[in-house]
Amino acid sequence: MLELILLEDEPVIAQELVEFLDDCGYQVTHVADIASFNRTFDPQRHNLAVIDLGLPDGDGLELIHGLRNQGSPLGIVAFTARGSIEHKVVGLRIGADHYLSKGCDLDELAAVIDALVRRLGLQREVKPWRLATGPRELWAPNQRVLRLSNQDNLVLQQLMAGAGAHVSRRQIVEALGEDWLSYDPRRLDTQIRRLRRNVEQATGLELPLKTLRNSGYCFYERVIIID
C-alpha cells in the first residue's frame, strides 16, 4: 500500500480527507502544521503528499519550495482554498505537481493522485485477490482466506468482475435480488462496512475497495474469479 502524508490544519477537512484517501487505498499519515510535517516526513516511506498552503506556522508553498530545493522526488498535490489562476501558476512553478482548489470534488483529487502514481512509476506488482464463488471463499494475496456468506459472495462477484472500473450501487443491489426503488441504501453501507472488517480480521489486509462518493465502488487491485 502506498503511503501518503497529508498536511491539513482544519480538523473537519482533515478527517474527511483521511477517510476518503484511506478508502482510495492509501495509507495516510496526517499532520496539522509544517513543524509536524518536518518531524514526521520520511522520504523512504512517503511517496506522495497532499499539502494545504495556509497553515498556522507558515506557508505551504515555502515547504514545497524547500522540498524541491532538496531534490525531493515526492509527488505533491497542493490542496488549498487559494483558487485563483495566479495562485495556481505560482504553486506549479514553485514545485507542486498538481494544484487543486478545496472546492473540487474529491473524486477529482483521487484521479489526480492516481495519475501522479502512474507518472512516477509507483505502481507495485501485487498478487491477485482470488474469489472462489462455489465454496464462497476469498483468498487474499498473502494466501489467507475468508469464508463468505452468500450475500457477501454475491457482492464480491459484482465488485471483482468489474475490477478497475466503476460498479454502481444499483448493480450490487440488483445482484442481491432486491428492488432498487424500494431498497434502503443504508443496508448496503452496513454490509460493505462489515465485509471490510471481516476481510481485515481474517487476512490482515484491507479490502482494496474504493468508495465512489454515493454512486458506487471500485475494486482496484488484480483479481481472479474461479467458478
pLDDT band at 124 (very low <50, low <70, confident <90, very high): low
Alpha carbon of residue 18 to chain centroid = 9
CA dihedral 217, 218, 219, 223 (to 10 degrees): 130
* pLDDT at 2 > cutoff 90: no
Q: How far apart are CA 194 and CA 141, in angstroms?
A: 20
Question: Which residues fall within 8 angstroms of residue 209, CB to CB, at 6 or more apart?
Answer: 23, 159, 192, 196, 217, 218, 219, 220
- pLDDT reported for residue 126: 63
- The arithmetic mean of pLDDT across residues 31-54, rounded, is 95
- pLDDT reported for residue 227: 86
CA dihedral 107, 112, 117, 121 (to 10 degrees): 140
- Strands 46-51, 3-7: pairing is parallel
pLDDT band at 1 (very low <50, low <70, confident <90, very high): confident
Q: How far apart are CA 32 and CA 27, in angstroms?
A: 17
| Residue 176, helix vs strand vs coil | coil
- Strands 216-219, 27-31: pairing is unpaired
Q: pLDDT, tens digit, for every residue of 56-77?
A: 999 999 999 999 999 989 999 9
**pTM (two decimals):** 0.61
Complete domains list, the chain, with CATH: 3-119 (3.40.50.2300), 129-226 (1.10.10.10)
- pLDDT reported for residue 149: 96
pLDDT band at 125 (very low <50, low <70, confident <90, very high): low
Q: How far apart are CA 82 and CA 54, in angstroms?
A: 8
**Cβ atoms of 51 and 24 closer than 8 Å:** no
Question: Which residues fall within 8 angstroms of residue 56, CB to CB, at 6 or more apart?
Answer: 9, 32, 33
Q: How far apart are CA 80 and CA 199, in angstroms?
A: 35
